[in-house]
Amino acid sequence: MIWLAWFVIFFLALRIMVVLFNIISRQWLKKHEPTGNPKVSVLIPARNEEKNIGNILQNLLEHDYENIEVLVYDDLSEDRTPKIVNDFHRQDKRIRLVEGKYLPTGWLGKNHACFQLAQEAKGDYFLFIDADVVVEKGLIKNTIGHVQKHRLALLSIFPRQIMLTLSERLIVPLMNWILVGLLPLLLTRVSPWPSFSAANGQFMLFDADTYKKHQFHEALKNQKVEDIAIFRYMKKKKLRVHTVLSNGQVKCRMYENFREATQGFSKNVFEFFGGSVAVAILFALITTFGVVPVYLAMGLWPALAFLVSGWFNRLLISLVSWQHPFRNALLAPLQQASFLLIIFVALRNRIFKSNLWKGRNVDNV
């Protein structure tokens, strides 16, 4: 038991060190001045996004980087999404609707939508964003400057998350709790190893020539978690890539209720652990029940110190992620229970091939 206790203590200490490394290495998007005035194709896959599409298009119209085209792929929406896009097209010809096609065999919906958008795009850079993000002024300029400075083929950003309900606050912080506590983000750029990979499909900026050469969404057309898969694929191809955190220049409200958040996160959660179900389950068990062997082997005070250190880790991650630190610390037990539920749902969905997203079974390819 004592060896198990020391193992979970070491693992927690390692996670705290990773968070501190991310803080010291300042893995946020910084201000940069781009060279020249390259054209950016902003590419938005949209399926039943009438609640969001108008907001992001208005954001882009008001953005301070003007050399853009905005293409929205209507993925067979059943709501007013295409009408809203066409209304904006009448205001500004830089915005254009790309009419969707029926999904071919072997493709997943978002991958197909992104591929179709890329075929229509004319920019020097391809910026894939989701319809539910919010972009602040300076974002495109700073990301282009970052890509140019580090000669990147891809820059991905984890947006600052908007959380308005208790349900969101129980699940959405788990994403950065895993990412920032396990992955030194600087290594996504400087290390050639594909194991140091992370990406967020809500914001992915590609060098257009590199994208056209490799056609990443076509190459990985049946991948449910296409963002991380593309990042790993690019590392294996020896292409320069980087993932950073947003300091608020790009924000997103991912989910609006507990069921939606559970469904969305369970679709992706195993990919945070290299696609390994066993590693994900082991991580869930250690982070939930690790205090038990510490208490049994060392007593009450070491167990309390272990719990306080775990809360301290959550505080640090919350600060790095621009989230409310004390709220996350207060909700930590419920967040941990939610994480166990997500692992259970993800495991069940994998066994029964029942991952649903946007009304489609993403296991049915």
**Partners of residue 360 on adjacent β-strands:** 357
Q: Mark 210-229 as b/e (b = at least 16 C-beta within 10 Å).
A: bbeebebbeebbebbbbbbb
Q: Are strands 160-161 and 125-129 parallel, antiparallel or unpaired?
A: unpaired
Instruction: Spell out the CATH class of 40-163+176-253.
Output: alpha beta
Structural tokens at position 175 = 């994403």
Say how far apart CA 179 and CA 228 lie, in whole Å. Answer: 12
Is the pTM above the cut of 0.85? yes
So what's the pLDDT on residue 362?
59
Strands (E), 172-265: 203-207, 241-245, 250-252
So what's the pLDDT on residue 193?
94
Tell whether the torsion through CA atoms of 196, 194, 364 and 159 is positive or negative. Answer: positive
Structural tokens at position 192 = 């050639």
So what's the pLDDT on residue 268?
86
So what's the pLDDT on residue 177?
95
- CATH 3.90.550.10 residue spans of the chain: 40-163+176-253
Strands (E), the chain: 40-46, 68-74, 95-99, 125-129, 133-135, 154-158, 160-161, 203-207, 241-245, 250-252, 356-357, 360-361
- Consecutive 10-residue runs of the chain (365 residues): their mean pLDDT? 94 97 94 94 96 96 95 94 96 95 92 97 98 95 97 97 92 95 96 94 97 97 93 97 94 88 88 91 96 95 96 94 91 96 92 66 57
Per-residue CA distances from 203 to 159, 223, 242, 246, 331 (Å): 8, 17, 12, 10, 28
Say how far apart CA 324 and CA 317 lie, in whole Å. Answer: 10
Instruction: Go through the chain and tell me how many residues it has.
Output: 365
So what's the pLDDT on residue 365?
56
So what's the pLDDT on residue 1?
83
Contacts 24+ apart (CB under 8 A), 32-37: 32/141, 32/142, 32/143, 32/144, 32/145, 32/146, 32/148, 32/149, 33/141, 33/145, 34/141, 34/144, 34/145, 34/148, 35/145, 35/148, 37/67
Structural tokens at position 345 = 């749902």
- For residue 291, give every residue at least 6 positions away whose Cβ sits within 8 Å of its Cβ, in sequence order, or none: 8, 303, 306, 307, 310
Say how far apart CA 89 and CA 57 lie, in whole Å. Answer: 10
Angle 87-144-116 (CA atoms, 0-180°, nearest 5)? 50
So what's the pLDDT on residue 361?
55
